[in-house]
Amino acid sequence: MKSKPIFVTQPYVPPLEDFIPYLEKIWDSKILTNGGPFHQQLEQALCDYLGVNHLALFSNGTLALVTALQALRVTGEVITTPYSFVATAHSLLWHNCKPVFVDVEPDTLNLDPARIEAAITPQTTAIMPVHCYGNPCDTAAIQKIADNYNLRVIYDAAHAFGVQDAGGSVLRHGDLSVLSFHATKVFNTFEGGAIVCPDAKTKQRIDHLKNFGFVDEVTVVAPGINAKMSEINAAFGLLQLKHMPQVMQRRAEIDALYRDKLQGVQGIHCLPQAGQAVANHSYFPVLVQPDYPLSRDGLYQKLKDHNIFARRYFYPLISDFPMYRGMPSAHRGNLPVATAAAQRVLCLPIYPALTPEDQQRVIDIVQGA
């Protein structure tokens, strides 16, 4: 009999009976969206949990990225990473900006600050780095470059929920940080996202932009979009937030066991954690090196044959997709580290409901290849 499937990630879903009281309140109030009580409660609860002062909820992370660019009036060229989910670069095209791809660091797979300066031109107005797999970027180096050239910094922090460095939340860095609350993320609201804002004035502008640009019933101040989070999504977020300590602990346990069991496997390289004060273990990527008995795709297929669905994340590179590969900065010769990582990376299953027995199934196959 075929073993049960194991996926690279599964959303944490609290018991249905715990969600029913929230739904009853929504039905009784008849307030389904437009900044209702659960929406307001979740914004405050997330500020408290994440250690930030201002946060604007969104219906998804991609619309949050697009709105962040609009809020900061970013134009021209934006330096970013090819090693990310496509939404990072797609948001730039949606805002009529030109992505300029820069290579990544080999240990973190984050945007390499040493490569940024050479990519700056008179048309450059911003930098959009990604905290890849939740590992913080070199924020000090990036900010120094931005200050020297008067550039905006928008962090795609889709993987970085709850992550802290020595100074506190990594979401405090840059001009804005953008979160995703998609179902695959550490914290989810089914679909959702947020922008972490530095001050109340910026949050107010962003709140206008995500609601068509309305200020009041008869005043529209900008060509905004409809990116509001519904009350049902916000209620689910409030419920899930109560379970985050257990979720984070279980993820840490899974991460630690992988590192312990795989450290001696020749040809399997676990990415080091980049010195977070608090990590969220959002993914568990390994690099399959040439001295491993199988290729990366061979190991991917062997796991799949055993009903284990790992993910080659991120593969292909954003810069390899048709809408980007014609750009000069997308040439693989410009991106050797990112290109090598995309050909070797494999994310192993990690989620709170992953049982020790199922994790051992994954480990046994990787060890026994």
Residue 348: alpha-carbon gap to chain centroid: 17
pLDDT of residue 273: 81
Non-local (6+) Cβ contacts of 274 within 8 A are 107, 108, 110, 135, 136
Which residues on neighbouring strands pair with residue 155, listed in sequence order?
Answer: 177
Q: How far does the chain reach from its first CA to its final CA, in angstroms?
A: 22
pLDDT of residue 282: 96
Minimal CA–CA distance to 107: which of 272, 258, 264? 272
Three-state secondary-structure class, residue 182? coil
The CA distance from 135 to 157, in Å, is 10
Which strands form 124-128's sheet, in the order they lie side by side?
54-58, 193-197, 176-180, 152-156, 124-128, 77-80, 98-101
**Which residues of the chain form CATH 3.90.1150.10?**
244-368
The CA distance from 156 to 255, in Å, is 23
pTM: 0.97
Cβ(350)–Cβ(311) below 8 Å: no
- Residue in the structure block whose two tokens are 């969220």: 280
CATH class of 244-368: alpha beta
pLDDT of residue 1: 57
Question: Token pair for residue 40?
Answer: 């307001």
**Which residues of the chain form CATH 3.40.640.10?**
16-241
Cβ(135)–Cβ(157) below 8 Å: no
- Mean pLDDT per segment of 10 residues, for the chain of length 369 residues? 86 93 97 97 98 98 98 98 98 98 97 98 98 97 98 98 96 98 97 98 98 96 97 98 97 97 97 85 97 98 97 98 98 98 98 97 94
Cβ(68)–Cβ(197) below 8 Å: no
Non-local (6+) Cβ contacts of 10 within 8 A are 351, 353, 354
DSSP string, 298-338: HHHHHHHHTTEE-B-TT-S-GGGSTTTTTSGGG-GGG-HHH
- Residue in the structure block whose two tokens are 């944490």: 12
pLDDT of residue 18: 96
Non-local (6+) Cβ contacts of 305 within 8 A are none
CATH 3.30.1600.10 is held by the domain 16-241: no
Minimal CA–CA distance to 100: which of 334, 299, 358? 334
Cβ(104)–Cβ(142) below 8 Å: no
DSSP code of residue 211: B
The CA distance from 281 to 189, in Å, is 18
Three-state secondary-structure class, residue 92? helix
pLDDT of residue 355: 97
Three-state secondary-structure class, residue 189? coil
Question: Token pair for residue 201?
Answer: 């004035």
pLDDT of residue 274: 72
